[in-house]
Amino acid sequence: MMLVDFLKEAWASTDYSYHKIFGHTKEEIVNLIQKYGAVSQSKALGNDECKIIREAIDDHIGNNTHHNTRVWQDEVCSDSRIYGFEAVYPDVLKLVDYKRFVELGEKYLGKKIDSFFILAARLDYKEGNIGSGGGWHRDSPFRHQFKSIVYLNDVDVVNGPFEYLIGSHLSSHKLSNFGLSSLRKMRFDEDELKGFSDRKLFSGKEGDAILVDTRGIHRGNPIASGTRYALTFYFWTTAMPSHFDNVINGQGVKL
C-alpha cells in the first residue's frame, strides 16, 4: 500500500510540475485546464510542419513582397505579428489539427466555438523588449477565454516562454489573492506577483502546444536572446471583438 501511495504521489507531482498531457484523454485534458488554467501538450505538430510554417512567417514578415499582408510590430520591433495568418497563408489550416483544439475548447468552455483566427508571431531579441502580450495581464477579467499556443521552435527560459500564474483563472484564486476591489483588474506589475511561487514557465519543444484559459494571469516572458516562433489560436464563442478589425488579415474562420 505504501508503495502504491508513493507511486501515486510521484505521478501527481510530475503531473503538476510539467503539466504534460501527452497520452491523456480529452476529458482528462479539460480537467487539467480546469484545475491549473494552463497545460502543455507534447508534439501537437511535427518538425517538418513547424519548419514550413516558420519559413512562411519569415516570408511574410521579413521581406516586403507581400504588400497586402498586415504586420503589427511593437515599438522596439521585437514582436512581429500577423493576425489572421490563415488569410495570408491558407495552407496552415491543412498543416495544423485545429479541429482538435476546437473540440477541447468547446469541452472546456461548455459552449460552441463559432469562429477563430490564427496569430503567427515571431519574437526577436531586442533591447528593452517587454515580452509577448506586454507584461502580466488577464485577457478578460470575467469571461473564460480559451487559446492554444503552438511553439514552432524550441523555447526555453531565454527565448520568451509563455508564463502563467497557476490557478489564477479561478474566481476563488482571484478573491483570496487579490480581493473584491480587484475583480476588474487586467494588468499587474511584476512587484504584485513577486510573492507567488506558482508562476509557471512553459518551456517547450518545437511543435508543443499550450492549452490555456487566458482569463488567468499570464505573459510572454521577456526575450533575453534568440527568437521564438509561435502560432496562437484565438477562439470565439461570440462575435470577434471589433478592436481586431484594425489589425487582422481577412475575417477569421467561421466554423
Binding site for ligand AKG (CB under 6 A): 132-133, 139, 147, 149, 162, 214, 218, 220, 232
Q: Of 129, 166, 223, whose CA–CA distance to 17 is shortest?
A: 166
Closer CB to ligand AKG, 5 or 164, in the complex: 164
Q: Which three cell numbers stand for residue 146?
A: 480559451
Give the residue carrying C-alpha cell 463559432: 114
- N-terminal to C-terminal alpha carbon distance within the chain: 50
Confirm or reject binding of residue 135 to Fe ion (CB under 5 A): no
Closer CB to Fe ion, 60 or 215, in the complex: 215
Closer CB to ligand AKG, 68 or 238, in the complex: 238
Q: Which stretch binds Fe ion (CB under 5 A): 25-33, 78-86, 126-134, 186-194?
A: 126-134
Evaluate whether 131 touches 219 at the Cβ level (below 8 Å): yes
The least CB distance from residue 147 to ligand AKG, in Å, is 6
What does the DSSP 8-state code read for residue 119? Answer: E
Cα separation, 228 vs 154, whole angstroms: 8
Confirm or reject binding of residue 213 to Fe ion (CB under 5 A): no
Confirm or reject binding of residue 139 to Fe ion (CB under 5 A): yes
H helices of the chain, where?
2-18, 26-36, 47-62, 85-88, 92-95, 98-109, 171-178, 190-193
Evaluate whether 123 touches 61 at the Cβ level (below 8 Å): no
Confirm or reject binding of residue 133 to Fe ion (CB under 5 A): yes
The least CB distance from residue 240 to Fe ion, in Å, is 15
Closer CB to Fe ion, 95 or 240, in the complex: 240
The binder of 169, among Fe ion, ligand AKG, none, by C-beta within 5 to 8 A per type, is: none
The least CB distance from residue 214 to Fe ion, in Å, is 5
Closer CB to ligand AKG, 179 or 252, in the complex: 252
Cβ of 80: how many Cβ atoms within 10 Å? Answer: 19
User: Given the rule CB under 5 A, which residues bind Fe ion?
Assistant: 133, 139, 214
